């Protein structure tokens, strides 16, 4: 079986490619934006940036499964006047062009890495999102992912293409970037943080667990035309996450017990309501449907995922 991976040099796509090389006998093809060095045996096809203008015929020829991890990702403090238009151009129009050409070429299955932002931004504790919930995306990134999902499901109705949608929560793992990397840097430096009394609940997913689920979706018959939420199946408060990440880093963590109401109120006054939500709000997912339909359980624990993430961070920091 030949599998095409888009975004094969990215955080998720790169890890997926490495796992498939080590743990499968699949013929692997990577769609890349520029000249890159990939492991021996991986066929590369140069397609450029994801857009509605990309020609995919060479990339999808002879392919049975497409795993689409490439996207315009969520951008903090986006400077574009109309970010939704650009998100739609890349994540909706670019994705659907690939999927249509894949269907025309006889591709059997299209695995789309979406986002929990399709469900929404926040849950009440004990009231997790499920795959059956009505989508309530708020920001341009989540809206674009939802619209892409709708277009893909319509294409599945019109063609023989099977669509599998995976909505991850926050993904962490070796070489993680953005807010998770910033958090590890603060902990590594021993910076006191006013986050010792946060009693929210948030679902996370280790990169290894996400990759394992994607691999299960490649040929599982029950995955066709379904939506799957994915997490580590253990939720943590922000305080617990900091404590356990600090332990993985081998660092003492100094967390000041600032009351939740004072912290969120102060951040909102400073114009940082989004940060307050990420630090203090809850976002939980129920993955029971994923486990039952696919017979899948996350192969590693939160602590194992944090250990791997911390080891990579420490090796990189000590170079």
Give the DSSP letter of residue 71.
-
Nearest by Cα to 282 from 119, 127, 134:
127
What tokens appear for 287 in the block? 């993955």
141 annotated active-site:
yes
Give the DSSP letter of residue 10.
S
Catalytic entry in 141, 172, 199, 247:
141
- How far apart are the C-alpha atoms of 122 and 70, rounded to whole Å? 25
- How far apart are the C-alpha atoms of 308 and 209, rounded to whole Å? 12
Cα separation values, 19 from 24, 39, 111, 135, 168, Å:
8, 12, 16, 31, 18
CB 234 within 8 A of CB 302: yes
Q: Output the CA angle 267-269-273, nearest 5 degrees.
A: 50
CB 214 within 8 A of CB 116: no
The catalytic residue positions are: 141
């Amino acid at each position: 079986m030949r599998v095409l991976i888009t975004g094969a040099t990215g955080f998720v796509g790169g890890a997926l490619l490495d796992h498939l090389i080590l743990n499968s006998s699949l013929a692997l093809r990577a769609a890349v934006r520029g000249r890159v060095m990939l492991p021996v045996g991986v066929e590369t096809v140069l397609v450029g940036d994801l857009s509605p203008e990309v020609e995919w015929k060479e990339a999808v020829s002879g392919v049975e499964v497409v795993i689409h991890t490439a996207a315009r990702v969520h951008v903090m403090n986006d400077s574009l006047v109309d970010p939704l238009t650009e998100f739609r151009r890349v994540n909706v129009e670019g994705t659907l062009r690939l999927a249509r050409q894949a269907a025309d070429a006889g591709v059997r299955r299209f695995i789309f890495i979406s986002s929990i932002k399709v469900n929404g931004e926040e849950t009440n504790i004990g009231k997790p999102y499920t795959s059956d919930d009505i989508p309530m995306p708020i920001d341009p990134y989540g809206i674009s992912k939802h619209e892409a999902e709708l277009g893909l499901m319509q294409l599945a109705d019109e063609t023989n293409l099977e669509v599998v949608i995976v909505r991850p929560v926050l993904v962490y793992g070796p070489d993680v970037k953005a807010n998770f990397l910033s958090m590890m840097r603060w902990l590594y430096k021993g910076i006191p943080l006013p986050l010792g009394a946060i009693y929210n609940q948030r679902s996370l997913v280790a990169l290894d667990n996400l990759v394992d689920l994607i691999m299960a979706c490649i040929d599982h018959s029950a995955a066709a035309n379904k939506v799957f939420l994915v997490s580590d199946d253990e939720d943590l408060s922000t305080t617990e996450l900091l404590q356990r990440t600090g332990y993985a880093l081998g660092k003492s963590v100094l967390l000041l017990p600032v009351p939740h109401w004072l912290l969120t109120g102060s951040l909102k006054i400073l114009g940082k309501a989004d940060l307050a939500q990420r630090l203090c709000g809850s976002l939980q997912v129920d993955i029971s449907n994923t486990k039952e339909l696919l017979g899948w359980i996350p192969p590693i624990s939160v602590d194992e995922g944090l250990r791997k993430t911390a080891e990579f961070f420490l090796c990189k920091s000590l170079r």
